[in-house]
Structure 1
Amino acid sequence: MLRVLIWLVLIMPFIAQSKVIHKERSLYRNILVEKNADLLCLKFNEKTRKSTQSCMYQSDPKKLVFNYTKMTFASLLFIDNPKNVLIIGLGGGTLSNTIHELYPNAHIENVEIDPAVIKVARDYFDFVETDSVTSKVQDGRIFIKRAALKKQKYDWIILDAFNGDYIPEHLLTKEFFAEVKSVLTNNGVVAANTFSSSKLYQHESATYFDVFGDFVNVVTDKDSNRIILAGFHAMPTEQQIAERVKRLTPKLAPYDVDMQLLSEHLFYTKGNQDWPKDTKVLTDQYSPANLLNYQ
């Protein structure tokens, strides 16, 4: 409780100073861009609350704002030099921009259902598009279905789609994860941005395990986000992780990503499953994600 009060005291001056510099109603949601001193944020204004989707320091665009974004780069402890990257859910384009800077020769496909979000990312958040960095307006599941039919494969698949309340239900099922697995290369990894709180945690874990087998949770004590890393064939050895931390640390430092810290927060589920064995797997017929999220 004391930590919450201290946090409120610290952020209240900034909340008061926030200024809406762009507002629009898209097909899916109310979209806001708020400026607060040096911080620029994309927010979805829902009926009951605002949810922050992406933020950028205008004076230092490289420096990542959110902890979950930083945790996503724990993926690089499992893959080397990704050539083909798929990102479901664009936000302000932060992940795409960072990956493009780290791996300028990689082909990055961003899939976003809301065309208004792509436009805002371009206009306010310096979202970079090139011949090798593309954006497509489409539902993520439809995109992956079509990618599977075309035999496309990705080394790194990042699932970061949110509707303002939680992950869309059809992107949280056994059937969807099987489709994701079908477009993952043999040495690839799936990184999913989700949460470590609510009853949904157990169902998500059981569903990922059902499709991918044992996976890794990346959780730090800074917030309730977790990144699920799945699809890899074997857990890297301590020596492999240490070598990758050493190699990646100078590359990620400008983005305020502490690779050593991330390496210390990899929780492998093999022999450490923290959900009941009889937990119901989420399917296309049973996926009450938004209801479970509030339990």
Structure 2
Amino acid sequence: MLQLAKEFSLHQEITVYEAGQLYGEIGKFRFLQFSDDAVQGAIDLKDPKRIVLEYPRAIIHLMECNHLLFDDVFVIGHGIGTIAGHYPNKSFTIAEIDEKVVELSRTFFNYRKDNVMVGDGRQMLENEAPQKFDYIILDAFTKEGTPFHLTTIDFFEMTKQKLNARGSIILNLMGKTKNDKLINAIYSTLKKTYAYSKVFVLPGANAVDIQNMIVIGSNKSIDYEQRAMAGFIEIELEEGHIIVDRKSGL
């Protein structure tokens, strides 16, 4: 594995690698990794337009299956810009807290769109017009996980106001399918806000493993085709507590 760059930002350690193997697949890959060793984005250098990771493939399917003619998307968490880059003719507004992530996406992953704003995604979304977006995608991580202020009922109620009648919110999360108080709380909080919701998991060895999850909330019924979900399967989570903003602030 070859290290191409390492940056220490105000928020985290960020590294870019090249490798001949990624998650068991042989090839030539370049990927962005945070200090918790989680891969935040990857490209196949032999086929740069191919979407390597399963979770963006599953998110893209949910977007196209539920609103094929969508136009406006707000994304919190840039990574290497995989989903926005996949749709050159759609309108994406992207919020990224870490300017180093944006710089590395341009230098090493050929991200060319001028649609990424550096700052807090919740604050930026609050300034957007009501009922503007077809989708809101939350793909934000720190070494502690998804930022707290992006998991509260106050936040989800605000996202509902920013979505149009056909709109949905899609979250990329990491957690356990059993006895995970935080994941259960995030999902229960979202369910209290949206009329319809589903959760999908990329199966691991067992229920105690940290696994990749995708959660979607909408005010209309949610459709998907299992064969197009890149290995993700629908599951049910346990009930959890409702997360609210801290009184002292976000």
Give the TM interval when normalised to the shorter protein: 0.7 to 0.9
After superposition, residues 1-295 of structure 1 pair within 5 angstroms as 18-37=1-20, 38-45=28-35, 49-73=36-60, 74-100=62-88, 104=89, 106-129=90-113, 134-147=115-128, 150-151=129-130, 153-197=132-176, 198-221=180-203, 224-236=211-223, 260-262=227-229, 267=234, 274-276=237-239, 279-285=240-246
- 2 CA distance for matches of 1:233 and 1:221? 27
Amino acid at match of 2:243: L
What is the aligned length? 231
Deviation at 1:152, TM superposition (A): 5.8
Segments of 4+ moved more than 3 angstroms: 263-268
- 2 CA distance for matches of 1:128 and 1:164? 27
Contact 2:30–2:44 under 8 Å retained in 1 = yes
TM-score by length of 1: 0.72
- Which structure has the greater CA radius of gyration? 1
Contact 1:78–1:232 under 8 Å retained in 2 = no
| Equivalent residue, structure 2, for 1:290 | none
SS at match of 2:40: strand
SS at match of 2:104: helix
Deviation at 1:213, TM superposition (A): 2.9
- Tell me the percent identity: 24
- 2 CA distance for matches of 1:145 and 1:109? 13
Amino acid at match of 1:113: I
* Distance change in 2, residues 1:263/1:114 (3 Å): closer
- Structure with the largest fraction of strand: 2
Deviation at 1:266, TM superposition (A): 6.3
| Equivalent residue, structure 1, for 2:25 | none
| Equivalent residue, structure 2, for 1:255 | none
Deviation at 1:90, TM superposition (A): 0.3
Contact 1:29–1:44 under 8 Å retained in 2 = yes
Q: Greater CA deviation, 195-204 or 85-94?
A: 195-204
- 2 CA distance for matches of 1:97 and 1:235? 24
- 1 CA distance for matches of 2:139 and 2:74? 10
TM-score by length of 2: 0.84
- 2 CA distance for matches of 1:225 and 1:87? 18
Structure 1, unmatched stretches of 5+, are: 1-17, 246-258, 287-295
SS at match of 1:215: strand
SS at match of 2:86: helix
- 2 CA distance for matches of 1:233 and 1:63? 31
